[in-house]
Amino acid sequence: MEKETFIQKINNRSWGEIRHKLNGIAYLLTFKSYWHYLLNKSKINQKNTTSFFAARPNIYAGIGHQMANWIAGLWFAKQFGLKFASIPFSTDKWDTFLGFGNGETQYYDLIKQGYKVRRLPEYNEKKQEELEFIRRIISTYAGSKTILLAIQDQGYTEQYGVMADLKYKFRNAPARKDDNIEYDKRKFNIAVHVRRTVVIENKIIEEDEAAKAKRWLSNDYYEKVLKQVLDNIKTNKPIAIWLFSTGKPEEFAEFKKYGEVHFCSHMDEYRSFAHLIFADLLITSKSSFSYKPALMSDGIKVCPRNFWHGYPNAKDWILCENDGTFDVKKLKEALG
């Protein structure tokens, strides 16, 4: 699968850092799309049926972050009334595993067909006036073979807007035939994701203390959430608990007292991801690595309320406070 060259990646990252130091008109003037807008105002408000929208997965980030970028591309393509162009993830293995690009027009194929790429300025998804400004820029490209590319890491908080698309793509990906799910369907399987050391493609990523503090939840938090879940589940099935973490099993010895507990350090990130999705109940962390499986899960999701991504207002999504408490009535309702 075609990727950018290393030099292109470095140039794009450096140019992005320069842009973020600017503001106002100075910032806008660094974009060819803004100059095009200024020189083609006669086309404003024309319907653009020829252009594509894309957002590039951040190759310097983990798969959860990369998925957030890809999801933003799909979401904003819909919001702006454009066709969507899929950009692959950092490794072919994730593309195959997730199947997100299946059935989508491919970004690099469009470039081979003569489409030009024009980056759009960053915008605040919550401010209608900024969205309207981007729509005006887009309208000036009506009739052209153009890919409108979002700025790197363009914000999209409420990622659940395309949940149905993600579920369909994942479940229909050819890679599902190779899933080796260890769950016993005769049991009620609870998956717990505990975020600890960040590992991307077998490499440990060092984080500063501020970054760790934003995402850290103690073992006490997870134990309290799990205990409340166990105390309030009404099921005729035996319960099996599956703990996923880059931490060592001995760091979670206190969980053994809750019955059948499996420490899943033997699973790689792909198998772990699939198991999080297919659990009957998923307890997530402050991590995109478990938030994204939650979006693709048909089970019950118990999640930390204080997180930068949004959650749908649905009965199978239960939000916890930082002390691990949650409304147990909602859990009982979700269980039916």
Assess contact for 72 and 120: CB atoms under 8 A.
Answer: no
Token digits of residue 248 = 């060592």
pLDDT grade for 318, boundaries at 50, 70 and 90 = very high
Q: Would you state the pLDDT for residue 1?
A: 43
Return the CATH architecture of domain 179-335.
3-Layer(aba) Sandwich (3.40)
135-158, pLDDT tens digit by residue? 999 999 999 999 999 999 999 999
Residues ≥6 apart with Cβ < 8 Å to 77: 52, 53, 54, 83, 84, 85
Task: Say what the pTM is.
Answer: 0.88
Residue 12: which pLDDT band, with cuts at 50, 70 and 90? low
Residues 290-309, mean pLDDT to the nearest whole number: 95
Confidence bin at 314 (pLDDT 50/70/90): very high
- Give the pLDDT confidence score for residue 277 in this predicted structure: 99
Q: What's the pLDDT band for 208 if we cut at 50, 70, 90?
A: low
Q: What is the pLDDT of residue 251?
A: 87
Average pLDDT over residues 241-254: 90
Decide if pLDDT at 256 tops 70.
yes
Q: Which among 83, 132, 82, 123 has a CA at the least distance from the CA of 105?
A: 83
More confident residue, 89 or 308: 89
In this structure, of 19-23, 116-120, 283-287, the range with the lowest mean pLDDT score is 19-23
pLDDT for residue 145: 98
Determine the average pLDDT of the residues in 273-280.
Answer: 98
Which residues neighbour 214 within 8 Å (Cβ) at sequence distance 6 or greater?
A: 286
pLDDT for position 79: 98
- Mean pLDDT over all residues of the chain? 90
What ranges do the domains of the chain cover?
Answer: 6-172, 179-335
Return the percentage of the chain with pLDDT > 90, whole number: 80
At 196 the pLDDT is 61
Output the six-digit token pair for 316: 């199978």
Collapsing DSSP to helix, strand or coil, 244 comes out as strand
